Amino acid sequence: MKSTTTTRKVNFDKELFKRSVLYNVMTLYRKTLEEATPQQVFQAVSYAIKDQIIMNWMDTQKAYEEQDPKTVYYMSMEFLMGRALGNSLINMQAYKPVKDACRELGLDLNVIEDQEPDAALGNGGLGRLAACFLDSLATLGYSAYGCGIRYRYGMFKQKIEDGYQVEVPDNWLADGNPFELRRPEYAKEVKFGGYVSVRTDANGRSVFTQEGYQSVRAIPYDLPIVGYGNGIVNTLRIWDAEPVECFQLDAFDKGDYQRSVEQENLARNIVEVLYPNDNHYAGKELRLKQQYFFISASVQEAVDKYMRKHDDIKKFPEKVTFQLNDTHPTVAIAELMRVLMDDYYLTWDEAWSITTRTCAYTNHTIMSEALEKWPIDLFSRLLPRIYQIVEEINRRFILEIQDKYSNVPGVDVNEKIRKMAIIYDGQVKMAHLAIVSGYSVNGVAQLHTEILKKQELRDFYEMYPEKFNNKTNGITQRRFLLHGNPLLADWVTDHVGNEWITDLPQISRLKIYAEDKKAQQEFLNIKYQNKVRLAKYILEHNDVEVDPRSIFDVQVKRLHEYKRQLMNILHIMYLYNDLKEHPDRDFYPRTFIFGAKAAAGYRNAKLTIKLINSVADVINNDPDIAGKIKVIFIENYNVSSAEIIFAAADVSEQISTASKEASGTSNMKFMLNGALTSQ
Ligand code: NBG
pTM of this prediction exceeds 0.95: yes
d(CA 134, CA 502): 14
Q: Are residues 468 and 481 in the same domain?
A: no
Q: Are residues 489 and 446 in the same domain?
A: no
d(CA 58, CA 118): 26
Ligand 1: residue of 472, 663, 665 to mutate (most ligand atoms within 8 A of CB) is 663
Q: Give the pLDDT confidence of 44-61 residue by residue, as tens digits.
A: 999 999 999 999 999 999
d(CA 46, CA 482): 20
Q: Are residues 355 and 499 in the same domain?
A: no
Select which of 157, 188, 338, 364 is catalytic: 364
Computed over every residue of the chain, the mean pLDDT equals 96
Select which of 563, 590, 597, 628 is catalytic: 563
| Residue 570 counted as domain residue | yes
* Cβ atoms of residues 608 and 559 within 8 Å: yes
Provide mean pLDDT across the span 241-249: 77
Q: Is the pLDDT assigned to residue 406 strictly greater than 70?
A: yes
Residue with the smallest CA separation from ligand 1 atom 6 is: 126
Which ligand 1 atom sits nearest the alpha carbon of residue 367? 8
Q: Is the pLDDT assigned to residue 162 strictly greater than 50?
A: yes
What percentage of the chain carries pLDDT values higher than 90? 94
**What's the gap in Å between 315 CA and the centre of ligand 1?**
33
Q: Are residues 596 and 613 in the same domain?
A: yes
d(CA 409, CA 173): 61
Residue 208: half-sphere exposure toward Cβ, Cα within 13 Å:
21
- The count of structural domains within the chain is 2
**Which amino acid makes up residue 484?**
G
**What's the gap in Å between 174 CA and the centre of ligand 1?**
30
Select which of 128, 152, 338, 558 is catalytic: 558
| Residue 320 counted as domain residue | yes
Q: Is the pLDDT assigned to residue 6 strictly greater than 70?
A: no
Q: Are residues 540 and 434 in the same domain?
A: no
* Cβ atoms of residues 628 and 304 within 8 Å: no
Residue 668: half-sphere exposure toward Cβ, Cα within 13 Å:
18
| Residue 516 counted as domain residue | yes
DSSP notation for 395-408: HHHHHHHHHHHTTS
| Residue 107 counted as domain residue | no
Q: Give the pLDDT confidence of 424-459 residue by residue, as tens digits.
A: 999 999 999 999 999 999 999 999 999 999 999 999
Is 113's C-beta closer than 6 angstroms to any atom of ligand 1? no
Q: Are residues 459 and 411 in the same domain?
A: yes
Q: Are residues 311 and 391 in the same domain?
A: yes
**What's the gap in Å between 234 CA and the centre of ligand 1?**
24
**What's the gap in Å between 125 CA and the centre of ligand 1?**
5
Q: Decide which of 425, 443, 472 is a domain's last residue.
A: 472
Is 366's C-beta closer than 6 angstroms to any atom of ligand 1? no
Q: Is the pLDDT assigned to residue 236 strictly greater than 80?
A: yes
At 126 the pLDDT is 98
Closest CA to 317 of 450, 163, 412, 440: 440
| Residue 352 counted as domain residue | yes
**What's the gap in Å between 664 CA and the centre of ligand 1?**
6
**What's the gap in Å between 114 CA and the centre of ligand 1?**
28
- Secondary structure (3-state) at 281: coil
Ligand 1: residue of 366, 444, 452 to mutate (most ligand atoms within 8 A of CB) is 444
Ligand 1: residue of 279, 323, 556, 656 to mutate (most ligand atoms within 8 A of CB) is 279
Q: Give the pLDDT confidence of 96-105 residue by residue, as tens digits.
A: 999 999 999 9
At 255 the pLDDT is 64
Closest CA to 666 of 563, 562, 536: 563
- Secondary structure (3-state) at 306: helix
Q: How many CB atoms lie within 10 A of CB 135?
A: 23
Is 360's C-beta closer than 6 angstroms to any atom of ligand 1? no
Q: Are residues 290 and 436 in the same domain?
A: yes
Residue with the smallest CA separation from ligand 1 atom 12 is: 664
**Which amino acid makes up residue 630?**
K
Q: Are residues 635 and 549 in the same domain?
A: yes
**What's the gap in Å between 365 CA and the centre of ligand 1?**
6
Is 215's C-beta closer than 6 angstroms to any atom of ligand 1? no
476 flagged as catalytic? no
Is 131's C-beta closer than 6 angstroms to any atom of ligand 1? no
669 flagged as catalytic? yes
At 521 the pLDDT is 98
Read off the pLDDT band of 258 (50, 70, 90): confident
* DSSP 8-state code for residue 273: B
| Residue 114 counted as domain residue | no
- Secondary structure (3-state) at 633: strand
Is 443's C-beta closer than 6 angstroms to any atom of ligand 1? no
| Residue 508 counted as domain residue | yes
Q: Are residues 506 and 608 in the same domain?
A: yes
Q: How far is CA 157 from CA 43, 484, 555, 635, 641, in A?
A: 22, 21, 19, 9, 13
Q: Give the pLDDT confidence of 570-629 residue by residue, as tens digits.
A: 999 999 999 999 999 999 999 999 999 999 999 999 999 999 999 999 999 999 998 899
471 flagged as catalytic? no
Which ligand 1 atom sits nearest the alpha carbon of residue 123? 15
- Secondary structure (3-state) at 470: strand
Which ligand 1 atom sits nearest the alpha carbon of residue 125? 5
At 252 the pLDDT is 58
Closest CA to 21 of 96, 109, 93: 109
Is 127's C-beta closer than 6 angstroms to any atom of ligand 1? no
| Residue 84 counted as domain residue | no
* DSSP 8-state code for residue 389: H
d(CA 581, CA 575): 10
Q: Are residues 500 and 381 in the same domain?
A: no
d(CA 262, CA 236): 30
Rg (CA), the chain: 27
Is 643's C-beta closer than 6 angstroms to any atom of ligand 1? no
d(CA 492, CA 244): 54
Q: Decide which of 438, 472, 506 is a domain's last residue.
A: 472
Which ligand 1 atom sits nearest the alpha carbon of residue 444? 14
* Cβ atoms of residues 240 and 218 within 8 Å: yes
Read off the pLDDT band of 489 (50, 70, 90): very high
Closest CA to 8 of 67, 68, 59: 59
At 5 the pLDDT is 47
d(CA 529, CA 648): 8
Q: Look up the domain containing 445 and give its range.
A: 281-472
Residue with the smallest CA separation from ligand 1 atom 8 is: 279
More confident residue, 389 or 259: 389
Is 370's C-beta closer than 6 angstroms to any atom of ligand 1? yes
Is 279's C-beta closer than 6 angstroms to any atom of ligand 1? yes
Q: Are residues 587 and 494 in the same domain?
A: yes
Q: Decide which of 416, 444, 472 is a domain's last residue.
A: 472
At 250 the pLDDT is 61
Is 364's C-beta closer than 6 angstroms to any atom of ligand 1? yes
Provide mean pLDDT across the span 655-671: 98
CATH of the domain at 624: 3.40.50.2000
